[in-house]
Chain A
């Protein structure tokens, strides 16, 4: 140990001061530990109790965690979150790949314009996204009006009030937020693929589909990993959109862990259970990010 410390010091450049590094890190570290690390530890501690936020808490050990699996009102939100990832993550990636495939065959002019517009939904506050999508799904809203316009009156719905349709409806709003990010990533990636690879594939008689599978898709692997990580993390963290469109309803059909944390801790006084959901969500995010990066490395 002492040797390693000495070795660490010896690698310093000549004239470089010793302990100064700690001083530069200290202010950031203090704020970070007090506002992130300590609360994270407290959350774990809270999650081991049954507590209504007011009276004395009772120790329940891992009880709140086993409930995540056994209690359907807790299992449901986690399942909903996984369903939403199809919309938040998978669909944007597929749409992005579609566009990338189309654009791999031509040099596009005005790329900056397209990039700016497609990425725009990413920078809007979720509150604003919620307002506009509530209107789109309203009984007299854009979607129903469009359906009536093409004579599909039978398909009109009160989208966010429907037990089976509310979850996918929110999902589509999430797809709208995320697809531009994936497209921008993949467009940048596609433009760096050497033209010769496409020419070689064409000489071998590859059609557009084979060309995509043999050239475009493998080359975009790193970008796909980044897109998957970003959209999965953002999707699982997404509280605002659910809270402001359906508040978990109708029934519990659109409840997700991020919403359940707020609802239990601040609306119905189940603080311990809420903390366990928060920690469970953290673990899930961590696991999925690791899985994504493993998948990418493993197949290279």
Chain B
């Protein structure tokens, strides 16, 4: 019994150590964001009071209000479009049989492996040719496509597991494939769809490279790009930079805390095993 108690203590000690390691860099940002700028310096200090005005400053002087607006527009459109398009595609892949079905599905799977770095150069010249760089379209369309690859893969698993009896019963009742999808399968697939939505939300919100390449005007900058520019221009304004970093991270962290299980499940499913 002694060894088991030792095991227990040791296990918790290791766990707590790793929790501290995971949290220190995060706490550094939070405590700096709450300090006055004279007091603020990189490091782990207790803030000298709670200077909430840093967030107001970041919002106004740091233009984070504008950046958040761009981020919200792009993210909402990408998440909704990717969810609808990949639900429809996955429905066909998971429940219907037709020639070419597996070839087309493998094409989508390919999209999970291709890194953005292999696409971003032609995308830039294509959008420039269309006069669409520095618009939300240049951020929305490529990210929708990349999320659709994951979404189709993810939702197909749900549809191919969904009960064939229910679908067939609905069909005998005269329901069309369209209403079977939206009235029967989508409502009962809410957990799978939630996972898809929170994951694409995080990817789109955090996206940096595409925004860096496509966006040139301040008004179109998303929050990660805005933070990078702010870091370049006001690197001595530590408290404000930290407040900006909190504004970038907070929406995703809130959604993560609310849907923790779905989040982890979705992110761990990214390793395709076929």
Answer whether residue B231 sits at the interface, using C-beta atoms and an 8 A cutoff.
yes
A4 to B100: give the CA distance in the assembly, Å.
11
Answer whether residue A40 sits at the interface, using C-beta atoms and an 8 A cutoff.
yes
* Chain B residue at minimal CB-CB distance from A284: B115
Answer whether residue A72 sits at the interface, using C-beta atoms and an 8 A cutoff.
no
List chain B residues, Cβ under 8 A from A5.
99
Answer whether residue A200 sits at the interface, using C-beta atoms and an 8 A cutoff.
no
Contact, CB under 8 Å: A39 / B126: yes
List chain A residues, Cβ under 8 A from B34.
none
* Chain B residue at minimal CB-CB distance from A144: B43
Contact, CB under 8 Å: A123 / B42: no
Query: Which of A8, A114, A119, A138 is within 8 Å of B97, CB to CB?
Result: A8
Residues 9-66 of A contacting B (Cβ, < 8 Å): 9, 11-13, 15-22, 24-25, 27-29, 31-32, 34-40, 42-43, 46, 53
By the criterion of a CB under 8 Å from any partner CB, how many residues of chain B are at the interface?
97
Contact, CB under 8 Å: A108 / B141: no
A145 to B119: give the CA distance in the assembly, Å.
42
* Chain A residue at minimal CB-CB distance from B226: A127
* Chain B residue at minimal CB-CB distance from A231: B271
Contact, CB under 8 Å: A140 / B42: yes
The 8 A CB mask of A68-105 against B (1 = contact, 0 = none) is: 00000000000000000000000000010011001101
A120 to B20: give the CA distance in the assembly, Å.
12
Answer whether residue A220 sits at the interface, using C-beta atoms and an 8 A cutoff.
no
Given contacts A125-B206, A127-B208, A132-B28, contact A31 B144 (CB under 8 A): yes
Chain B min CB distance to A241 (Å): 10
A197 to B75: give the CA distance in the assembly, Å.
48
Answer whether residue B209 sits at the interface, using C-beta atoms and an 8 A cutoff.
yes
Chain B min CB distance to A235 (Å): 11
Contact, CB under 8 Å: B89 / A12: no
Answer whether residue A230 sits at the interface, using C-beta atoms and an 8 A cutoff.
yes
Query: Which of B125, B208, B223, B252 is within 8 Å of A124, CB to CB?
Result: B252
Which residue, of B28, B85, B118, B125, has the highest number of chain A Cβ atoms within 10 A? Answer: B118
Q: How large is the interface on A (under 10, 10 to 19, 20 to 34, 35 or more residues)?
A: 35 or more
Given contacts A32-B145, A36-B145, contact A103 B257 (CB under 8 A): no
List chain A residues, Cβ under 8 A from B104.
25, 29
Answer whether residue A218 sits at the interface, using C-beta atoms and an 8 A cutoff.
no
Contact, CB under 8 Å: A131 / B227: yes
Answer whether residue A278 sits at the interface, using C-beta atoms and an 8 A cutoff.
yes
Contact, CB under 8 Å: A138 / B23: no
Query: Which of A36, A43, A102, A243 is within 8 Å of B111, CB to CB?
Result: A36
A40 to B146: give the CA distance in the assembly, Å.
12
* Chain A residue at minimal CB-CB distance from B224: A127
Contact, CB under 8 Å: B10 / A102: yes
Question: Can you list 27 A-B pairs with a CB-CB distance of less than 8 A?
Answer: A8-B99, A9-B99, A13-B168, A19-B98, A20-B177, A21-B97, A21-B98, A27-B88, A28-B86, A32-B107, A35-B142, A37-B107, A39-B118, A39-B123, A95-B18, A105-B4, A105-B7, A121-B25, A123-B263, A127-B227, A128-B245, A135-B43, A136-B25, A180-B22, A183-B18, A225-B271, A265-B121
Interface residues of chain B, those whose CB is within 8 Å of chain A, are: 4, 7-8, 10-12, 14-15, 18-19, 21-26, 28-29, 32, 41-44, 85-86, 88-89, 91-93, 96-99, 101, 104, 107-108, 110-111, 113-126, 141-142, 144-146, 148-149, 152, 164, 168, 171-172, 177, 202, 205-206, 208-209, 212-213, 223-224, 227-228, 231, 238, 241-242, 245, 248-249, 252-253, 256-257, 260, 263-264, 267-268, 270-271, 273
Further pairs besides A31-B145, A124-B206: 14, Cβ < 8 Å: A15-B172, A24-B96, A39-B119, A43-B122, A99-B14, A102-B11, A118-B18, A119-B263, A125-B252, A132-B26, A181-B267, A225-B271, A265-B121, A293-B273
Q: Which 5 pairs between the two chains have the least Cβ-Cβ distance?
A: A135-B42, A35-B145, A42-B122, A24-B92, A28-B89
